[in-house]
Structure 1
Amino acid sequence: MGAWGISTFDNDDAADWLADLSDHQSLALVRETIAAALDADDYLEAPEASTALAACELIAAAIGRPSAAARKQETLTRWIAHRKPSPDTALIADALRAIDRVLGPESELRELWEETEDYAAWQADVVQLRSRLSH
């Protein structure tokens, strides 16, 4: 992985997902990304977990609760400003479940972070994202 940091958009998978977002006019990519994380069999691979977190960050920003890191993502803020997406309660509920999968025992991304000294900071960032979606 070329880029690796605590914030959601500090990794290549999330950055690539964000670049792909500009090709979409609706929340379809967001829904597909979250569904992929929820539909993963027993084990959630790191790329799917990273992109699911990016999709969740977009939802949080769309409902007016962006993180400081999300506010710095011009692609994200521009996309939201132009498309004015309105995530429904079902999508938000799915996003919360996806975050739970990312933080759960069958998550490669969580396992990778557990092997670092930054695990607690990464986990706190993801928990904070969950909190912004659930209020």
Structure 2
Amino acid sequence: MGAWGIGSFDNDHASDWLLDLIEGEDLAPMRAAIAQVLAEDDYLDSDLAVEALAAIEVLAATLGRPTAAIQDETEFQAWLARLQLQGDPSLVPEALRALERVLAPDSELRELWEETEDYEDWCADVARLRSHVGA
């Protein structure tokens, strides 16, 4: 999986996604990552799930409810301060549905975490993210 921790940015794919985001000037990739997870009817690929978690972290931050994980991303924080982007509260219901999709039985990311001793901690981390975005 290429992960070194349970956090949303504790893996190569999410870190790369975040770097791609901050090379741009808007939140379109955030919206796209959430929408892509919701558009998947079949088995959810882990890369799509990881991108959605990162996107939901970004959404929470742009709504003024950042998690500790996104606060540690100093390049993102500088990018957000420079562009002064505001999140769209109307995306919250979609983000919450995307989190449910990531946690669903037909999610590869969930299956990968289930195979580790950190599964419960990962679920708790996703629940913390949910509380930030849905606050």
Segment drifting more, 61-70 vs 10-19: 61-70
- Between the two proteins, what is the percent identity of the paired residues? 53
1:8 corresponds to: 8
Conserved 8 A contact 1:18-1:75: no
Q: TM-score, normalised by structure 1?
A: 0.94
Aligned with 1:43: secondary structure?
coil
> Cα deviations across residues 41-89 of structure 1 (Å, max 9, x unaligned)?
3111100000100000011111121111211101221121122222222
Which residues of structure 2 form unaligned runs of 5+? none
Conserved 8 A contact 2:21-2:27: no
Runs of 4+ with deviation above 6 angstroms:
none
2:46 corresponds to: 46
Shift of 1:3: 3.3
CA-based RMSD of the aligned residues comes to 1.2
Q: TM-score, normalised by structure 2?
A: 0.94
2:132 corresponds to: 132
Conserved 8 A contact 2:63-2:89: no
- What does 1:20-39 correspond to in 2, within 5 Å? 20-39=20-39
Which residues of structure 1 form unaligned runs of 5+? none
2:77 corresponds to: 77
Conserved 8 A contact 2:101-2:107: yes
